[in-house]
Structure 1
Amino acid sequence: MSENNFDSESTENLYSLAKEKIEFGESLKSYVSRHKDIEGLQKLARKINQELKFLRKVCRDRTLKKEHLQCSNLTHFSALIDTLSTIKNCESVNKVYCLEDRKVTVDIVCDNGLTWIKVIARNPKSLSQICMGNSSYGTRSIIDQASEYVQCAKLYPCLFQTPKVIFVFVNGIGSNLSNKLKNCGVTVVGARSEDYDIAESDSDLSDDENVEKPSCTDLSTINATCIKKINLDVSAMLAYCCSVANGSAYLYDFHVPVLKQQAEWERQRPVKPILDNFFEGKTLYCCETAKTSFKNIVNTVGGSNEKIRSKELLERVVVLPDNATYKETLEGSEGSEIFRNVQFTPDKVLKLGGKIRQRSLTIFLFGDRIQAVTVTSNDGFIRAAKQQNINFVVFVHESRALTEQKEHTKAIPFSS
C-alpha cells in the first residue's frame, strides 16, 4: 500500500517538475521576443518551441519519464540566454561556420565578430570523465570541441584578427581541464575546482603499454602560435617524413607493438596536417646537430620515399650553427614577452642525465637562442626540464617513427 502511494507521489512530482519546466521554457521565449534584432534568436525560439511541444505531448499522453526532464535541451538554452543577457554588442546566436567537411555552431558571436562564445551547462565532473575516456565510443570531449573552435576561428578572421574563443562553464569546471583548455587557446569562464578533477587512477585506463597515449598538448607553450620562427627537433622531422604519417597507417597492420600503436594514433589523429597547420606562414630552422642526426637516422633506417621526403623538407629549412642567436636569423625577435617569461637563462644550469641528453639539450638551447618555438615529440625532455624549473617554448606533437623498411618485413597489408 505504502509502495503504491510512493510511486503515485513520485509520478505526480515528476509531472509537477515538467509543468515548471514548461513554464520556464515560456519565460525563455519571452526573452527572445524582446530581442528580435539579434540574428539567430528566432531560430532558438523555434528550438525552444520544439522542446515545449514534446514535453506537453508526453504529459498529455501520461508517458513522461524522468529522462525526458534530465535530457531536455531547455537547460542549455537557459544557460545560453543567461550568458547572453550579460553580453553587450551581441551579433548573432547559434551561428554556423564550415570547417572542412563539417559544421561548427558558435553559441554567441559578439564584439563585432571578434569574440566567439560557447556555453556549457553540463555537470563538471562528467566533463572531466569524458576527457579521461570514461564515455561511450564516439563521444566528443570538451577538448575536442575546443580544438575545433580554435581551428575554425582561424579560418574566419574578423578585422584582420582571429576571433577570441571563450568557453563559459555555467556549473563550473575542473582545474586540470581548465588548464588544458587554456593550452588549446581557449579563454575559460566559470568557477574552477579541483573537486571536479578525475584522477587518472579513477579512470578506465589500464596500465598496459599499448593503451592510448594521453594528449601532449598540455605541454605546449600557451600563445606560441604568435611566434613566426620554428626550430625543428629531430623527432619533428622524423614525424613529418615517416611513411606512417604519409599514408601507410591506412595500408598496413604492424607486428611491432610501438609501430602498431603509432599507426593507430595516426588513423585517429593524423600528425602531418597538425604540423602543416602550425608551420603555415612561418620560417623553419634547425641547427647543425639536428640536421646531422636526422640525416644519419634517415640514411640508416629510412626507406626510399622517406629519404625523398626528408630531402624535400631540408630544402625548406634554414640550417644554422648550433650556437646561433636570434640576431643571426633573417627575422627579428618574435614573441619576446613569452621568452622573457619562460626561456632558459644563462644563470640556470640544466643537469645532464636521464631524459636530459646532450643532443636534445643542444637542439632546445638553439631554439631558445634564436627565439623560435621548438616543435618536438620529446615530452620526456620537456618534463625533465620542468622538474629542474626550466621551461622551453615548445609545440608538442605525438611521436612517429620511420616505418617504410618495416612495412615489407614486420607488417601485413590490410587488404590481404
Structure 2
Amino acid sequence: MSPIRRIEEAKERCIAVANRVQSLPLSKVTDSCKQTLLRLVNSELNFLSRLSSASPDFSGPISANIGYLESVVHILQQTFVTGVSRVCKPIPLSSENEERKCSSKGIHVDIVCTVDRRPVWFIVSDRNPKYISWLGSHKNKGLRARVEKVLSAAQSCLMLKPFSVILFFSNGLDDVVTQKLLNEFGASQFGKEFSEFDCDFSKDLEYEWVNDFSRSYRRAIIFQLKVEHYSTSSESSQGCTCPLLGAVTPDWADKQSQLTLALIALVSGISNGGTGKLLATPVCEMMKRFKSNYEFVMAQVMSELQNPILVELGGLISGKRGMICESVHSEFKELVSMCGGHNEKLRAEYLLKCLLIVPDSPSERVMSLPTTRKIALKNKVIFGTGDYWHAPTLTANMGFVRAISQTGMSLSTIEHRPRALTGD
C-alpha cells in the first residue's frame, strides 16, 4: 500500500473512532472525557491532513497515534467498564517527592474508571511488541520504569487511588517481557473477557449493512497489578478490618453484592400503590398538604404511573443483601418519624430488619475530597462508606455524583428516580 493510501486509511480510522466516541453513553463516560477524546482524534486528523496536502509525494513512515486512540475507545466500549471519569490525562500527585520522581505534571493514565465496583487505572499500549523493552535504553526508559512510576503514583494518590492497575497491550507482548512482569511485579492475567474485534458499520445505497472498518484484538494481552500488593505494611493494613466483624476484608461485602439502598423510595406511599388515592384528592387539598412541594410530588406520581419504581429497584436489588451506614440509619428513622404516615412507618420498620447496618467508615480517598457546597461532609461519609465496602450506592442525588465525577474520581453509583414520603 502506498504511503498516501496509508494516510487516507488512517484518516478514515480517525473518523470512525470519532463516531464511536460520540456514541458512548453519558451514563458511562462523562462529557468532558468524550470531549478530551474528540480533541485528540481531531488533532490526529489535522496532522494527517497536513501531511497529505503538504507532501503529495510523501514516501516516508507515518507516525500516527490512531491505533492508540482506537485501543482506548475499545476498552471504553466494554460492558464491564463503568464510571469513566478521566481519560488520557496525567494524574496529579499528592506527594512532592513523587512529583519530582514522575514529573511536575504527574503520571499519565489512559483511563480512570470502575470495574466490578472497584476503581482502576488503565495503561494502554499500541506499540509493536518488539519495541517494548524491559530495561529501556537512551531513547526509552523501558516498561519496568514505567510500571514502577505508575504503581508508586497509585500508592501515593488519595482521591484517585485505584484498587488495581490494568496494563493493556493491544498488539501483544514479548515472552521475555511478559515473564518479567509476572516475576518482578506479580502481575496476573486480567479476569475479564474483552471482545476480539472492533467494528463500525454504515448503510450502503442498497440498505444493506456493510463493514466500514474492523480491527482484531486477538493478540491483545491484559495484565492486572493489584496496588495493595505494593503498599507498606501500615498502608496495607489500613481499611482491611471491618469494625463490625473483626478481621474481615471489604471483599466480604463485595462478594455479597451489597447495595446502600434508597430507603425513602422503597417505603414511600407513591411507590406502594398510593398514586390513585393522591390523584383522586382535590388539588386544593393537595396544595395545602404539600405546599411548595406539590409540583414535585405530582411529578413523582406521574413518573410512578409510567414506570413503577419498585419494579426498577427490584431488578437491581433482587437476591442481594442491602447495607446502610449508621448516618443513613439515623437520618432515615428521623425522616420517617417526622414525615411518614402509619403505613410508611410500618414499611420502614420492616425494611430496617432486612438491612445490615454498618458503622460510618468512609474511604480515605473520598474523605480526601475538599468539602464544598456540592460535596457536603455528610454525603462524603455516606458515599465514602459504600466506597470502603466496594459497594455501589443506590442514589437519587445526582448532583453529588456529578460533582464527584468533575474531580476525576470514579465512584460506583446506581441512579434511581426520587420518591417522597406522603404521610400515607
Q: Smaller-chain TM-score range?
A: 0.3 to 0.5
**TM-score, structure 1 as length reference:** 0.40
What TM-score results when the alignment is normalised by the length of structure 2?
0.39
